[in-house]
Amino acid sequence: MSGLAGKVVLITGGSSGIGKGLAVAMAGLGARVALAARDPDRLEAAAREIGALAVPTDVGDAAQCRAMVERTVGHFGQLDVLVNSAGLSLRGPFEDTTPETVERVFRVNVLGTIFATQAAIPHVRQTRGSLIALSSLAGKRGAPSYAIYGATKFAVGGLYEALRIELSDDRVHVGVVSPGFVDTPLRDNQLGPDGQPHPERQAVPFKVWPVERVVECVLYLLRTRKAEVYLPWFVRYYVALDALTNQVFSDRIIKDRFRRTRGD
């Protein structure tokens, strides 16, 4: 998809963070935007700001995802791009994480992507458009205290890898953006193992990227119709090197960097 002018874009998690940043950028490029999120007040405020359609939706509910897509198509007449940006972040020891918290994070991050994508495919197939998932470097490489969150992102990556092949004959673009740590409200509401937000932002072992850089990555992915874009870009080579070295060296580096964030 070389240009966004006149295209219809549906963004989940669109009331703040990466989703809102994408909405502002895409609307500025002439796209017709629909925003979906759970909080109707914040959603309406974000939609008014850019002149978007607000569609209150809990992506963890399949029926609501179907209604979200149908309302978007009913309003605009088509759907060209779905961006799955809704998500929850979880950081904490795996063995301490409650089953309820695991289910909550998987429902939003994994089932939310599945339900929205299933509902969007028939319409995106007609326009030969794009299905985009916001993943994470935690979905490419396991890290301590991110076992559950990383598992959800690995799942999303596997899902979209399979869909890229399944939908290739339909000329549907299926792509994933995998950034590192990003400065979004998600970090302020990061869940602990008990399902409650951490009382303060957790220290991180690597660079925190601004939302604008992720927005640039998504726009580049759409323009080039690539399968995946990393932030930072050179992580692609570290992932390949990891496979060749049996992850021995990177295990040590990751373990040491995360240990430092705890002050050990």
Closest by alpha carbon to 256, among 248, 247, 244, 264? 264
Catalytic member of 149, 160, 230, 238: 149
Interior CA angle at 60 toward 59 and 63, to 5°? 75
Radius of gyration over alpha carbons of the chain, in Å? Answer: 18
Pick from 148, 153, 141, 253: nearest CA to 205: 253
Token reading at 110: 């994994």
Among candidate residues 127, 137, 133, the one with its CA nearest the CA of residue 163: 133
Residue 128 parent element (H or E): none
> At which residue do the structure tokens 């549906």 appear?
10
Classify residue 77 by its DSSP letter.
S
Alpha-carbon span 26 to 32, nearest angstrom: 8
Please state, in angstroms and rounded to a whole number, the distance separating the CA atoms of residues 140 and 74.
Answer: 37
Within a 13 Å sphere around the CA of 55, how many CA atoms are in the beta-carbon half?
Answer: 27
Kindly tell me the burial class for residue 181, based on how many C-beta atoms sit within 10 Å of its own C-beta (0-12, 13-18, 19 or more): middle
* Residue 160 is a catalytic residue: no
SS3 97: coil
Residue positions annotated with a catalytic role? 149
